[in-house]
Chain A
Amino acid sequence: MKALDRKLLRDWRRLAGQAITIALVLASGVAVFISSLSAYQSLVTSQHNYYRESRFADAFASLKRAPLSVAARIAEIPGVTQVEPRLVYDVTIGVEGASLPVSGRMIALAAGDESQINRLHIVSGRGLDPANPAEILVTQAFAEANRLGPGDTISALLNGRRQIFRIVGTVLSPEYVFSTGPGEPLPDDKRFGVFYVSREVLAHAFAMEGAFNDIVLIAAPGANMPGILSALDLMLDRWGGMVAHDRSLQMSHRFLQDELRQQGTMAATIPPIFLLISAFLLHVVMGRLVTTQREQIAALKALGYDQEITLHFAKFAALIVLPGVAFGVASGVVLGHVMLFSYRPFFRFPELAYHLPVWAPVAATAIALFGGLGGAIGAVRSVARLRPAEALKPAAPAAYSARFSKALFRVPARWKIAARGAGEHPLRTGVTLLGLIVAAPLVLMGLFWTDALDYVVDVQFAASERADAVVQFVDPLPARAVEEVRRMPGVLLAESLRIAPVRLRAGHLEYQTSLTGLSDRTQLRRLLDDRLNVVVPPKQGLLLSRRLAERLRLRVGDLVGLDFLEGRQKRAAVPLAGVVNDLIGLSAYMDRAAMDRLLQEDQTVSAVAVRLDASRADDFYAATKKTPKISTVSLRERSIRNFRDSTGAVVLLLAGIYVAFSITIAVGVVYNNLRIGFQERSLELAMLRILGFTPYEAARIFYSEILVEVGAAIPLGLVAGYFLVRLLLLAFQTEMFEIPPAIAPRSYFWAASLVGGAAIVSAILIGRKLWRQDLVTALKGRE
């Protein structure tokens, strides 16, 4: 082994503590990068494979009733390769022991054969026996949430008649990766499930022999989808067709895309920041480590070494970088598997196959090497530029100016050293500060998700949707229906709501959502503006969720096309009167009386918002189950839990990982910065000890500098964190909900404490070195 390589190994051993912490910081950055990206890629790949293998439909339409011959004509629309007419009904489900009202969607295929579109994947049990009408298949999510399996029975209220079914299998469907009940913004697997029965059952119960009320189709690749959809609308119009739509408006797909987009955004924004920051730190730390070897570089140069020196330090950097990257990639892959495994309850694909895109480890290694080698080689160059004789001498005293002298006249010397050290070494201070500053935003980026979710729950469910339950009717009913609900057990307050499915049009943009009619007396559903003030729908015009107005590029005063998608399908044009701050969902609102006028109705009710006496809630649920006119009951408590369990859980899973890594990086960063700071000042500190300063007094000077640096870095870091979070959230707006930049004071507190705590622990560790500093060696090191 060459002498220079022996030096390499010994240097590494001497600096092992630092080398390992640097490698760990880097490994953390790489691991977050690899795991997030691979988990996300795996999800996308799994979704893609699942859609392809199960032949997920391209277009969807529902209608009142059409003869099966219409389906054959639909199959002839240019671009359509396959159609499947079906029977689909939302029904009330009876599950033994369930106190909450349960609803379900029953699907029967039009032809008796096995489905060719939206193929079911059987998880347990078997498929339906077409000869046995009492058999039923149930989605796995519902089965798990209600602890049901093959052999169990459930009942369903079909067109007013209760029928008992035996579960023969649990299934997955590409159409219901997320199953969201009607009128619910989020999935609730305990209270809503999808069921498959043989065609005869539904045809018989709803008198639909030879007919269908729902159709799905697959289009040829590259087919003209808008053309197909309008042809569908045209054909189904006389059969009571609702508007046909493609995948983009399919609930499960839309929700899945939102979740994936969110995962993708998280994976595409935060991990690269982690990686870049750790590469940057590596750059800085390597540079400073090399600079502390100034005399050795000079000595080597004097001996006639030249390119070998650069190579030597490049190897030194590689010795830190490569194990760090290797460890990071390995733990990233392990963590990626763990993440994918934790996604299982949320993303119900038959298979979640791990997929690591090759470019991810390559990019991570390249960025890390670039940071590490760049820092080391840059520093070697700057030392090597000096003539050996010059470099062998200690560096000339750094230049200071008297800029701050007057201001600091009466200040104790240690603060002068600290202040001038900071003010007059902009580069060193800047680099240290930057290192310390990045720690806090990293922690904030992980912590704030919890705050944001809490804020959403507070605003959406405590301030805005204040009803304990919302009862939805199968069809709109006359005003007296409210009275019936009011008389149900446990009801303290009942307010009528008119909710109607609509399509909003603005120029070529359109969006399908629900329009809710509210009166100025409505207490249980309130609209809020950006400052959380209550907004009452004006007598004229429409209110929209802010994101919906933005999506449709509407400004207050613009006319909005309003197509009702039920009943007589009325059309109108209404001016946009204002926007409201909905955090979940995109909705439209209007004054109740104005809506009645548009629909030519008189106080028709489609839903009732209810405030409940908590002690009698179960009686209330039982009563709703006995009322056939009620299609669904949505409960605020469940909505909150669903929000926390679905989007919340997935977001927090990632956020938790980010917090863990951000802490590693923050601690590594702070320790290394202070450690190198100590190295750079060790001679100065030894000198003070020689002059008769006690270790305590010398430490005070050193700590004063740390205090100045950390004291400046923490507030700057928190400010940077705030802006970074805001910036991050620009990328995070999804259609279903928006994450407000609501960082709670406690998160600032924790981020600051963590950085401060890391500084204190580092200071203590370094302080031990200061106490044990060998003065003779420190002097010899220089002379």
Chain B
Amino acid sequence: MPQIVFSSRSLNKTYQVGSVEVAALQGLDLDIYQGEFIVILGPSGSGKSTLLNILGGLDSATSGAAAWRDHNLVEASDEELTRYRREHVGFVFQFYNLIPSLTARENVELVTDIAEQPMRPEDALAKVGLSERLDHFPSQLSGGEQQRVAIARAIAKRPDVLLCDEPTGALDCRTGVGVLAALDEVNRSFGTTTVVITHNAAIGAMADRVMYMADGRIARIESHSRRAPPEEIRW
């Protein structure tokens, strides 16, 4: 039985929006195992992004428990969260968020410079199929390529967990599949626990488990005995 890396119990997060309190997470319980590829699906406002932010140490919960291995993510200080992100987490966002003034290689170096046992930036970029585009600036890359640089940047520090927020949201199907293939490859070859949140139900097919979120809770979990290869996915 693989180890549990993430777990949460009765996790609550409320936001104050003007005078209204919005409950983004309402008593959420969750376990994620080492090396799993998880896809979280759900409509807007279901709490997907909030959950991802808490798992990634970008935000903290209002109450309840959430832990990555022995790191308590609810009561951690800003410094502890920064260290947690730095040592264990890789992020991939919908809009890539590369530094425009750095080349692909340098964007990856930005992370390897502060990581303890990083990959060589060239290797990370090779992993996502960008060996030929090392010295290109973001403005010289297509959207799919930029997203693959973002993935390389995320994996280069050998994170324990890769958190992806709509990684294909800004891409067409063919380009998106290329990005998914990169994520799949990273997950399989390094055993990096990977969590992808998306609106796109089709992506669920490549996951070990698909979690459906609604109203701040996990409504339903679907386990797959076979993960579909990314090339089979269409939307």
Residues of A within 8 A of B (CB): 393-394, 396-402, 405, 412-413, 416-417, 420-421, 424, 683-684, 687-695, 697, 775-776, 779, 782-783
Closest chain A CB from B163 CB (angstroms): 10
Total interface residues on B, CB under 8 Å, equals 38
- Does A424 contact B97, Cβ atoms closer than 8 Å? no
Q: Does B30 have its Cβ within 8 Å of any Cβ on chain A?
A: no
Task: Pick from A417, A776, A782: contact of B59, CB below 8 A.
Answer: A776
Task: Pick from A396, A421, A692: contact of B86, CB below 8 A.
Answer: A692
- Does A413 contact B100, Cβ atoms closer than 8 Å? no
- Does B99 contact A687, Cβ atoms closer than 8 Å? yes
Q: Does B29 have its Cβ within 8 Å of any Cβ on chain A?
A: no
Selected A-B contacts with CB under 8 Å, 14 pairs: A397-B137, A399-B139, A413-B102, A416-B106, A684-B99, A684-B100, A687-B97, A690-B56, A775-B58, A779-B93, A782-B95, A782-B97, A783-B93, A783-B165
- Does B139 contact A397, Cβ atoms closer than 8 Å? yes
How far apart are the CA atoms of A775 and B54 in the complex, in Å? 12
- The closest CB in chain A to the CB of B96 belongs to A397
Q: Which 9 A-B pairs have the closest CB atoms?
A: A692-B86, A397-B100, A397-B138, A420-B101, A400-B137, A399-B139, A692-B85, A687-B97, A397-B139
| Chain B residues with CB below 8 A from A692, complex form | 82-83, 85-87, 89, 111, 114, 157
Task: Pick from A401, A421, A688, A779: contact of B110, CB below 8 A.
Answer: A688
How far apart are the CA atoms of A783 and B113 in the complex, in Å? 27
How far apart are the CA atoms of A693 and B97 in the complex, in Å? 15
| Chain B residues with CB below 8 A from A694, complex form | 79, 82, 86
Closest chain B CB from A10 CB (angstroms): 12
- Does A399 contact B86, Cβ atoms closer than 8 Å? no
Closest chain B CB from A7 CB (angstroms): 15
- Does B86 contact A776, Cβ atoms closer than 8 Å? no
How far apart are the CA atoms of A664 and B96 in the complex, in Å? 41
- Does A413 contact B110, Cβ atoms closer than 8 Å? yes
Q: Does B200 have its Cβ within 8 Å of any Cβ on chain A?
A: no
| Chain A residues with CB below 8 A from B99, complex form | 417, 684, 687-688
- Does A402 contact B135, Cβ atoms closer than 8 Å? yes
- The closest CB in chain A to the CB of B85 belongs to A692
| Chain A residues with CB below 8 A from B14, complex form | none
- Does B58 contact A776, Cβ atoms closer than 8 Å? yes
Q: Does B6 have its Cβ within 8 Å of any Cβ on chain A?
A: no
| Chain B residues with CB below 8 A from A421, complex form | 101
Highest count of chain A CB atoms <10 Å: which of B100, B101, B114, B140: B101
Closest chain B CB from A407 CB (angstroms): 13
Task: Pick from B53, B98, B139: contact of A776, CB below 8 A.
Answer: B53
Closest chain A CB from B114 CB (angstroms): 7
**Given contacts A691-B110, A776-B58, are A398 and B87 in contact (CB under 8 A)?**
no
A-B contact count (CB 8 A): 91
- The closest CB in chain B to the CB of A394 belongs to B95
Q: Does B109 have its Cβ within 8 Å of any Cβ on chain A?
A: yes
- Does A405 contact B110, Cβ atoms closer than 8 Å? no
**Given contacts A691-B85, A693-B86, are A400 and B97 in contact (CB under 8 A)?**
no
- Does A689 contact B82, Cβ atoms closer than 8 Å? yes
11 further interface pairs, Cβ-Cβ under 8 Å (given A398-B101, A688-B99, A694-B86): A393-B170, A397-B98, A402-B137, A412-B113, A413-B110, A684-B100, A691-B86, A692-B83, A692-B157, A693-B86, A776-B58
| Chain A residues with CB below 8 A from B170, complex form | 393
How far apart are the CA atoms of A416 and B140 in the complex, in Å? 18
Closest chain A CB from B111 CB (angstroms): 6
Closest chain A CB from B37 CB (angstroms): 22
| Chain A residues with CB below 8 A from B94, complex form | 783
- Does B58 contact A399, Cβ atoms closer than 8 Å? no
Q: Does B68 have its Cβ within 8 Å of any Cβ on chain A?
A: no
Q: Does B8 have its Cβ within 8 Å of any Cβ on chain A?
A: no
- Does A400 contact B100, Cβ atoms closer than 8 Å? yes
How far apart are the CA atoms of A695 and B77 in the complex, in Å? 13
CB under 8 Å from chain A, chain B span 56-103: 56, 58-59, 79, 82-83, 85-87, 89, 91, 93-95, 97-103
| Chain B residues with CB below 8 A from A691, complex form | 85-86, 91, 110-111, 153
| Chain A residues with CB below 8 A from B102, complex form | 413, 416-417, 420
- The closest CB in chain B to the CB of A771 belongs to B78
- Does A416 contact B101, Cβ atoms closer than 8 Å? yes
How far apart are the CA atoms of A402 and B153 in the complex, in Å? 20
How far apart are the CA atoms of A147 and B114 in the complex, in Å? 77
CB under 8 Å from chain A, chain B span 127-173: 135, 137-140, 146, 153, 157, 165, 170
Closest chain B CB from A566 CB (angstroms): 78
Closest chain B CB from A655 CB (angstroms): 42
- Does B137 contact A413, Cβ atoms closer than 8 Å? no
- Does B91 contact A398, Cβ atoms closer than 8 Å? no
- The closest CB in chain A to the CB of B138 belongs to A397
- Does B137 contact A401, Cβ atoms closer than 8 Å? yes
How far apart are the CA atoms of A658 and B188 in the complex, in Å? 69
- Does A783 contact B95, Cβ atoms closer than 8 Å? yes
How far apart are the CA atoms of A657 and B85 in the complex, in Å? 53
| Chain B residues with CB below 8 A from A398, complex form | 100-101, 139
Closest chain B CB from A716 CB (angstroms): 22
How far apart are the CA atoms of A415 and B98 in the complex, in Å? 16
| Chain B residues with CB below 8 A from A783, complex form | 93-95, 165
Closest chain B CB from A708 CB (angstroms): 12
Task: Pick from A401, A413, A695: contact of B109, CB below 8 A.
Answer: A413
Closest chain A CB from B52 CB (angstroms): 10
- The closest CB in chain B to the CB of A420 belongs to B101
How far apart are the CA atoms of A783 and B165 in the complex, in Å? 10
- Does B101 contact A400, Cβ atoms closer than 8 Å? yes
- Does A417 contact B114, Cβ atoms closer than 8 Å? no
Contact with A along B193-224 (1 / 0, CB 8 A): 00000000000000000000000000000000
- Does B85 contact A413, Cβ atoms closer than 8 Å? no
Task: Pick from A399, A413, A779: contact of B106, CB below 8 A.
Answer: A413
| Chain B residues with CB below 8 A from A424, complex form | 101
Closest chain A CB from B118 CB (angstroms): 12
| Chain B residues with CB below 8 A from A420, complex form | 101-102
Closest chain B CB from A353 CB (angstroms): 57
Highest count of chain A CB atoms <10 Å: which of B79, B102, B109: B102
How far apart are the CA atoms of A697 and B86 in the complex, in Å? 12
| Chain A residues with CB below 8 A from B59, complex form | 775-776
**Given contacts A397-B138, A783-B93, are A402 and B103 in contact (CB under 8 A)?**
yes
How far apart are the CA atoms of A566 and B57 in the complex, in Å? 96
How far apart are the CA atoms of A394 and B138 in the complex, in Å? 14
| Chain A residues with CB below 8 A from B89, complex form | 692
Task: Pick from B53, B97, B113, B146: contact of A413, CB below 8 A.
Answer: B113
